[in-house]
Structure 1
Amino acid sequence: MCDLHDQHEHESQPAGGPALSRRRIMQLLGAAGVTTAVMAAEADPVMAAAADDSSQAETAEYQAPEGLAEDSPAKSAALAWIKANSDRITGLNAEIWEYAELSLREWKSSIAEAEFLEKAGFEVEFGTAGFPTAFSATYAYGKGGPVLGFSGEYDALPGLSQNKGVGHHDPREYIHDPFAPGYGPGHGCGHSALGTAAAAAAAAVAQAAAKHKLPVTVKFFGSTAEEALIGKTYAVSKGVYDGLDAFLDWHPSTANATGWGTSTAMTAVTFTFLGVAGHGGTPLGNKSALDAAVMMATMSEFLREENLAPSGRLHWVINNGGDIPNVTPEIAEISYYVREGSPARVQVLLDKVIAVSEAAAKASQTTVQHRITSACWNQLPSKSFAELLHENMRQIGPPEFSDEAHHLAKELQESLGLPTKGLHDTIADLTAPNPVFMGGGSTDVADISWNVPTVSMGAALAPIGTKMHTWSTAACAAAAPGQAAVLAAAKYLAATAVDLITQPERLKAIKDEFAERTKGVDWKTALPDGYEPPMYEPPEWFLRKTGQSWPPENITWPPKRVVSQEKFASLGPDLAPQK
């Protein structure tokens, strides 16, 4: 089989001529990963903008530059502040870990993070973009300095409860139900550490700027519902992040690394099937909404061979399938995450998933409706920003993991059947991204990255070989591994931010790259017209504490009820009695 990607690369290198960059190849092909003549005819400027702009030869010889990160009194002050306040920082991580609150309901977690920043001199305002648990915290010193943003998240995941520091699966909250046992929520993605380290970095930069009289505005964005990719995508569309010069982001990981690769764009969609309930013992004429959901799940799996590229992902869960076998389910819901390399490619795959839902409804004689709960772009990387961050990471060094931390990591690895390598205790080399994008995760930071230069990095919080969204990550997040990672991540972010203040030429280079990458691309939210974000009504104590009222102006409350009006299915004319 002819690989058009390889073919174009070979054809683009005539004797004595320059090699085409990956970005130019992407512009020609219009896709990453899967390359056909159809794709070549339609360029995808979004994927092209996110691609590396180096030739193969340049990539093979790439070495991270040196001399970007500079020592300065302000940087030393920021790092010293983190060291002096390490107990407060690790204490905040532990506190939020204990709360383990789910997306859109981070009542105590958001307040804890906001109060930490208030004590550092920030002005806090809750209710960002109408979300009760989202807040903006601002610290300004002087005039004319850069405006730097930090990203904070603090939501947990359902079903990932785990006792802190325990090396085998041991849920902290076990839900006893004789028919449906389960586990409570837990920080299986380490967001307790994520929000804490970002807040600590923001506070450290603010204190250092004031001490050394450096004009700057530091903005911290406490974001809700990252696990559902809801909080930032909608906030960006409302202009919340306008006016920033640079945005710094990190995420717990199994390695200490940064780079300038991209992520997948994603649309989250929930399909609701409506049928007619009835006694399971007399099922004739009933219409099972669960049958429809099961048929949809089955049919969507058939998309994988011929409609799902290596850059795509399609995963689902039936989140409402009935309560008892003796009642035909009248309502059933199945939710999908549809991921691809760009919003345009997501839409193509999403249309096919929607068509499957309509077929399932027709076959089951039910009706179906769908609602998009979130949608984000793929991330726009920044090579120059990553190079600056990487040098700061190298200069500071990896997290200072104790013997206790490595012991826990090895216990977890043994429990999961993995090689007992412990924790990643080096700084990974900075390398160019894979020229063939093979898909992966998504982030609502991506929408920010198309509006302001953004850098992301990972610090090792979980053992080598494990994954995020697991109970093993929850075991580490506020135990010895996580407490070392949160301090290291705060230092990496703070040191890089200080360089942006003390070295205006670095910030200019980052902004110049951003302007070049975004030429020909106009960001527009992937959320549908008329979109209203999902929300939960806050408890009264939270509204009083944060000075908010309910409901916010941007949603309809109470939401429209979903009620089936379907009729029993006809079996045709009655049969004549036998004679």
Structure 2
Amino acid sequence: MCDLHDHHEHTQQAEEALAASGMSRRQIMQLLGAAGVTAATATAVAADPVMAATGAATGSVAGDGGYEPPEGLAQDSAAKRSALAWIERHESRITGLNDEIWENAELSLREWKSSIAEADFLREAGFEVEFGTAGFPTAFTATFSQGSGGPVIGFSGEYDALPGLSQKKGVGEHDPLDYVHDPFSPGYGPGHGCGHCALGTAAAAAAAAVARAAKQHKLDVTVKFFGSTAEEQLIGKTYAVSEGVYDGLDAFLDWHPSTGNATGWGSTNAMTAITFTFLGVAGHGGTPLGNKSALDATVMMATMSEFLREESMAPSARLHWAIVNGGDIPNVTPEISEISYYVREGSPARVQSLLDKVIAVSEAAAKASRTSVRHKITSACWNQLPSKSFAELMHDNMRQIGPPKFSDEAQNLAKQLQKSLGLPEKGLHDKIADLTPPNPVFMGGGSTDVADISWQVPTVSLGTALAPVGSKMHTWSTASCAGSSPGHTALLAAAKYLAATAVDLLTQPKLLKGLKEEFAERTKDVDWKTALPEGYEPPMYEPPAWFLRKTGQSWPPDNITWPPVRVISKEKFSSLGPDLEPQT
């Protein structure tokens, strides 16, 4: 009882002290509820300069009760008006590009038609286009230059879809556009359930608008648009950064479809993607003795890894997996089976700590199942480095331009989707969210390969409401919106926010100087090094011949081994021991 009283008294004192700091009650309760987390975080920060640099994980940012975002950073200018007008004049061409990419719905590393469509759009806008960035066939760099000596501004474009998320556009209930009939394993085709059709389109429109404004108003600048492959697997940008593709930039602008209209300067989770391959011995399911099931090993690994959650995973950690190869038919013992993991944490060092435990689980599963196991890291990225000053400039532009103006049609679709998903029928977010500091306790979240870019150059990210309030990315409902009215409105708004912010950097050099000074201060104690392993070769698919001809490429690029090394089981049947003596 005395211990409980002392704890309550200490908690009261801590709450009063935190309240005096200007923090909101929500943030206070997060801090008090995660006392063990904050103590561990403080210790980790002392040994982890990456966490210290991000700020969000250190509790160094004041609570939102005492913060007021600055106004007047975004300035009206003839160049900005020209950029925004260009977007408005070309609305049908811009939304048409989105719809073309939406219809293609091509998976990571295989965005053959989508990458060409986006590159052609920029070529028509006066950009020079070069395919094969960092060796990836569907990655390209588009460049526009005006004058000399001006800043180099980068934009981020993505265009890959997700498997299994096909959905008819503008339809408020689940109705896949591409239904895959199989009497044993029905499924759905790929779809833009993360809205990358809109992402790449809005970024390309913003880049083109800035180029047009710079040419019209004689502003010295180099605009670079990076068409990136395989964002959904965090492969394209991470490897490209390690190859120096993003060197020489002065600022980088990024956006992503969302359920709200907001920007900020919080961090993300670092992540390593890893696939484990178990090898056994195939045999008839009716005579299983001596067979070695690779699927058994995979199931054991999946089960054992779940036991990491209580004692080996902080609130900032995320661990998710999928069995990507589990066999073909029940009466053949699977000789090969694979399970892929995404391991996320607040910094690369913390990812490695959790990853080591996952690898140990794989070895235990292999030993117990008498199979062999190997693993391959397919991608690895850092957590994002925030830019407070960049977010403040972006927010001021968003506030001045105003929120997306969704039609009744768009709002009705959103409410139909919410009803289908069992969510409150609130429609689409039609305001600009307040700019608030990140939570003092970093509680984890998603990951992005833009993060590695953010450690090379000041980077800002924003979201606009393409999906209904309360819904999530990576769903069929997002695919429904991405190719219809909500997606069109959201991407046009995003294009304007990106373009306006970029123009401010050209017309107000002091703003760009401030971004660079903050970046230098945040990174002064951090020596960035790619999280990819030594000797890493990025995964790739061989392009069709027509694509290579169209883009002027040859195959294979010189940074991969082709054909790839085959994975073949050489395991032997398991022994049951000496034969039993006959019974007499």
TM-score by length of 2: 0.94
Give the corresponding residue for 1:50: 54
Q: Is 1:376 matched up with 2:381? A: yes
Name the amino acid aligned to 1:345. R
- Secondary structure of 1:272's match? strand
Q: Is 1:473 matched up with 2:492? A: no
CA contact (8 A) 1:32 1:436 kept: no
CA contact (8 A) 1:34 1:310 kept: no
Give the corresponding residue for 2:28: none
Equivalent of 2:549 in 537, 544, 550: 544
Give the corresponding residue for 2:298: 293
Could you tell me how far apart the structure 2 residues matched to 1:36 and 1:346 are?
Answer: 15
Could you tell me how far apart the structure 1 residues matched to 2:552 and 2:580 are?
Answer: 68
C-alpha deviation, 1:41, in angstroms: 8.6
CA contact (8 A) 1:129 1:240 kept: yes
Q: Is 1:570 matched up with 2:575? A: yes
- Secondary structure of 2:39's match? coil
Could you tell me how far apart the structure 2 residues matched to 1:286 and 1:54 are?
Answer: 54
Flag the 1:561–1:202 CA change in 2: closer, same or farther, 3 A: same
Could you tell me how far apart the structure 1 residues matched to 2:517 and 2:41 are?
Answer: 34
Could you tell me how far apart the structure 1 residues matched to 2:443 and 2:45 are?
Answer: 21
Could you tell me how far apart the structure 2 residues matched to 1:408 and 1:324 are?
Answer: 41
- Secondary structure of 1:35's match? helix
Equivalent of 1:511 in 493, 510, 516: 516
Could you tell me how far apart the structure 1 residues matched to 2:425 and 2:45 are?
Answer: 48
CA contact (8 A) 2:144 2:224 kept: yes
Name the amino acid aligned to 1:488. A
Equivalent of 2:279 in 274, 277, 282: 274
Name the amino acid aligned to 1:249. D
The sequence identity of aligned pairs, in percent, is 78
- Secondary structure of 2:429's match? coil
- Secondary structure of 1:145's match? coil
CA contact (8 A) 1:32 1:341 kept: no
Q: Is 1:387 matched up with 2:409? A: no
Could you tell me how far apart the structure 2 residues matched to 1:37 and 1:191 are?
Answer: 34
CA contact (8 A) 1:150 1:248 kept: yes
Name the amino acid aligned to 1:113. E
Give the corresponding residue for 1:256: 261
- Secondary structure of 1:150's match? strand
C-alpha deviation, 1:44, in angstroms: 1.4
CA contact (8 A) 2:280 2:291 kept: yes
C-alpha deviation, 1:58, in angstroms: 5.9
Matches within 5 A, 1:85-164: 85-164=90-169
Give the corresponding residue for 1:485: 490
Deviations 1:27-60 (A, max 9, x none): xxxx994533994595211011001488675642
Flag the 1:323–1:527 CA change in 2: closer, same or farther, 3 A: same
Could you tell me how far apart the structure 2 residues matched to 1:60 and 1:47 are?
Answer: 24
Name the amino acid aligned to 2:283. G
CA contact (8 A) 2:63 2:439 kept: no
Give the corresponding residue for 2:40: 36
Q: Is 1:304 matched up with 2:309? A: yes
Flag the 1:125–1:384 CA change in 2: closer, same or farther, 3 A: same
Give the corresponding residue for 2:32: none
Equivalent of 1:440 in 429, 441, 445: 445
Flag the 1:256–1:232 CA change in 2: closer, same or farther, 3 A: same
Equivalent of 1:324 in 304, 323, 329: 329
C-alpha deviation, 1:501, in angstroms: 0.2
C-alpha deviation, 1:478, in angstroms: 1.4
Q: Is 1:424 matched up with 2:446? A: no
Give the corresponding residue for 2:234: 229
Q: Is 1:408 matched up with 2:413? A: yes
Could you tell me how far apart the structure 2 residues matched to 1:301 and 1:101 are?
Answer: 32
Could you tell me how far apart the structure 2 residues matched to 1:538 and 1:286 are?
Answer: 38
C-alpha deviation, 1:471, in angstroms: 0.2
Equivalent of 1:341 in 311, 326, 346: 346
Give the corresponding residue for 2:533: 528
Could you tell me how far apart the structure 1 residues matched to 2:339 and 2:572 are?
Answer: 22
Give the corresponding residue for 1:356: 361
Q: Which runs of 5+ in 1 are unaligned?
A: 20-30
CA contact (8 A) 1:33 1:437 kept: no
C-alpha deviation, 1:272, in angstroms: 0.1
Name the amino acid aligned to 1:218. V
CA contact (8 A) 2:259 2:464 kept: yes
- Secondary structure of 1:267's match? strand
Equivalent of 1:83 in 71, 84, 88: 88
Deviations 1:7-39 (A, max 9, x none): 9x969x89x9999xxxxxxxxxxx994533994
CA contact (8 A) 1:271 1:368 kept: yes
Flag the 1:227–1:18 CA change in 2: closer, same or farther, 3 A: closer
Name the amino acid aligned to 1:483. H
CA contact (8 A) 1:33 1:438 kept: no
Deviations 1:97-137 (A, max 9, x none): 00000000000000000000000000000000000000000
Could you tell me how far apart the structure 2 residues matched to 1:37 and 1:187 are?
Answer: 37
How many residues are treated as equivalent by the alignment?
A: 564
Matches within 5 A, 1:491-502: 491-502=496-507
Name the amino acid aligned to 1:542. F
CA contact (8 A) 1:32 1:47 kept: no
Name the amino acid aligned to 1:60. G
- Secondary structure of 1:205's match? helix
Matches within 5 A, 1:13-28: none
Q: CA RMSD in A?
A: 2.2
Flag the 1:61–1:18 CA change in 2: closer, same or farther, 3 A: closer
Q: Is 1:242 matched up with 2:234? A: no
Could you tell me how far apart the structure 1 residues matched to 2:78 and 2:91 are?
Answer: 20
CA contact (8 A) 2:399 2:432 kept: yes
Name the amino acid aligned to 2:129. V
Give the corresponding residue for 1:64: 69
TM-score by length of 1: 0.94
- Secondary structure of 2:174's match? coil
CA contact (8 A) 1:32 1:311 kept: no
CA contact (8 A) 1:32 1:437 kept: no
C-alpha deviation, 1:344, in angstroms: 0.2
Could you tell me how far apart the structure 2 residues matched to 1:81 and 1:477 are?
Answer: 22
Could you tell me how far apart the structure 1 residues matched to 2:483 and 2:392 are?
Answer: 29
Could you tell me how far apart the structure 2 residues matched to 1:300 and 1:229 are?
Answer: 22
